[in-house]
Amino acid sequence: MYASIVTLLLLHTWTNLAKAVSVPACQTTAPQLTTLTNVTTANTNATEPFGLTFGLSDDIAFVALNTTLGVLNTSTFPPVLVHKVPLPLQYLNDSIVEKESHVVSGATGIVLSSDGRHVLVTAFSTWLVVVDVARAIIGAADAVVGAVNGSLAAGNSAVEVAITKDDRYAFVSQEDPSPLSNSKNGTIEVFELYGMKRTVGVSGRSVGYLTLGVGPVGMVLSPDGRYLYATSEGPGKATTPQGTLSTFDVETLKHDPSKALLSTVIAGCGAVRVIISGDGAILWVTVRESNHVVAFDRAKLVSCPGEALLASVQVGTSPVGLVLVRNDTRILTADSNRFRSINETSGISVVDVQAALRGAKADLGQISSGIFPRELAVSPNGKTVLMGVFGSNKIQAIDVATLP
């Protein structure tokens, strides 16, 4: 009894101390970080790489390359771009948007189905394209095995895609408002997928959508598949700076998306991507216009949102993609400098997770990269990270063993 009161008091004190962390303010440029010269990296040419994912094995990865799905053989360092599977142009056509009539805007997000048989590709359009992995690997002409058309009411500017463990539902972040909407807000659209066990004729339908904040982009599912998390950039102006992290109930998303929101917390200025630790306990969010990554206690996001923020770490300028490596002890962020601030560098920050959670100095330095690094993916064995360097038309491979 006595002991438990002492424990409670200690916990209470600890919680109050932990609350000293606050959401980072908007910040145009990040202070210069130490350049890491000892990390082994190497480049592969590829035009405008966006979303990246490995297959189920360590020797294969896929990358969204404008009008094709690039197939990378990752058994060598750097990897070799072995095939480019053409994505039919009608699926990439955003001609419905008046301001950009008849423009083919490229493929954006990609995700591997849980059974490893398909890659789903989004574009700045209404479509979700389904590619057969076995056929893509051999560069077969018939590798595109289906496409699902979304609803224009949900939007036509998809960026990321996530898929449920049973491969029956996909969630798509529509960053810009629908051309049919007066709102400034984007949405999370839900697709039901049909025939994902088949080798041809995969199809599906748009179930509906949930209107989120301004600029929803990053998404991740909890390891148990029960929750979806999504970022929203927020208006991004100094007067109304707050981007958010929202939690959704996956079961509700499948049937009644507009009712699936469980909670929203402030994440900072221009929150853009989110990942989750392997044990599902902590979410990490890049806050692009604050040049920070922030950590949230997953369990508190719904029950006690005001106390969910655990850590905030300064990284390089305009971080976008992020990935956990080495058993979740390091985070790499793609410091994009995407607004090309003068005197700012792009690169890859290395963050020490334990130090970050202790509130100690956690940035271990920055690896150099080309222009506008964007998304990252880690191989199943954890040894290699790939990063798309969108503005330099290359993919940078990083040897995880050589990280500090």
Ligand X SMILES: *[C@@H]1O[C@H](CO)[C@@H](O)[C@H](O)[C@H]1NC(C)=O
Q: Is 66 in the site for ligand X (CB under 6 A)?
A: yes
307-336 positions binding ligand X, by CB under 6 A: 326-327
Among 18, 42, 95, 300, binds ligand X (CB under 6 A): 95
Number of amino acids touching ligand X (CB under 6 A):
35
Contact 401, 43 (CB under 8 A): no
Whether the Cβ atoms of residue 120 and residue 110 lie closer than 8 Å to each other: yes
* C-beta of 109 vs 234, nearer to ligand X: 234
Residue 247 sits at φ, ψ, to 5 deg, of -115, 135
Report d(CA 177, CA 215) in Å as an integer: 8
Specify the residue, 236 or 359, whose C-beta has the smaller distance to ligand X. 236
DSSP single-letter state for residue 371: S
- If one asks whether residue 364 binds ligand X (CB under 6 A), the answer comes out as no
Give dist(CA 146, CA 55) in Å, integer: 19
Q: Binding ligand X by CB under 6 A: which of 23, 85, 104, 245?
A: 104
By CB under 6 A, residue 352 contacts ligand X = no
Stretch that binds ligand X, among 89-97, 115-123, 249-257, 276-284 (CB under 6 A): 89-97
Interface residue with ligand X, options 24, 109, 208, 234 (CB under 6 A): 234
Tell me the two tokens of residue 28. 């145009």
Residue 99 touching ligand X (CB under 6 A): no
Where would I find the H helices in 103-167?
A: 133-137
Asked whether position 149 contacts ligand X by CB under 6 A, the answer is: yes
Name residues contacting ligand X, limited to 253-292 (CB under 6 A).
none
Say whether residue 47 binds ligand X (CB under 6 A).
Answer: yes
The 394-399 sheet, strands edge to edge: 41-45, 394-399, 384-389, 373-378
C-alpha dihedral sign at 285, 399, 393, 35:
positive
Binding mask 205-224 for ligand X (x = CB under 6 A): ------x-xx----------
- Out of 90, 199, 303, 402, the only residue in the binding site for ligand X (CB under 6 A) is 90
Return the biggest CA–CA distance within the chain: 72
**C-beta closer to ligand X: residue 40 or 327:** 327
- Rule CB under 6 A: choose which of 49, 51, 64, 67 binds ligand X: 67
Write the CA distances from 109 to 80, 174, 217, 299, 308, integer angstroms: 21, 11, 10, 28, 28
Asked if 126 is part of the footprint of ligand X (rule: CB under 6 A), the reply reads yes
Burial (CB < 10 A; 0-12, 13-18, 19+), residue 235, is middle
Stretch of 94-102, 113-121, 128-136, 248-256 contacting ligand X, by CB under 6 A: 94-102
> CB of 233: closest distance to ligand X in angstroms?
8
- 203: contact with ligand X by CB under 6 A: no
Q: Give the three-state DSSP class for 231.
A: strand
Residue 80: Cβ within 10 Å count: 11
Residues that bind ligand X (CB under 6 A): 38, 45, 47-48, 59-60, 66-67, 73, 75, 89-90, 93, 95-96, 102, 104, 106, 126, 137, 149, 151-152, 183, 185, 211, 213-214, 232, 234, 326-327, 342-343, 382
